[in-house]
A and B are shown apart, each in its own frame.
Chain A
Amino acid sequence: MNEYTYEEIETGHKESFTVTVTEEMMEKFRDITGDINPLHNDGEYARSLGHRGRVAYGMLTASLLSTLAGVYLPGRRSLIHEVDVKFAKPVYIGDTLTVEGAVDDKNDTYSLLIVKAVICNQDGEKVCRAKMQIGVSG
Chain B
Amino acid sequence: MGYREKAEVMDAEAMDRALTRIAHEILEANKGASGIALAGIMTRGVDMAGRLAERIGRIEGTTVPVGSLDISFYRDDVATRLSPEVHTTDIPYEVEDRTIVLVDDVLYTGRTIRAAMDAIMDYGRPAAVQLAVLVDRGHRELPIRADFVGKNVPTARRERVKVLLAEHDGRDAVVILEDDGRGVE
Same assembly: no
Enumerate chain A interface residues (CB-CB to B < 8 A).
none
Enumerate chain B interface residues (CB-CB to A < 8 A).
none
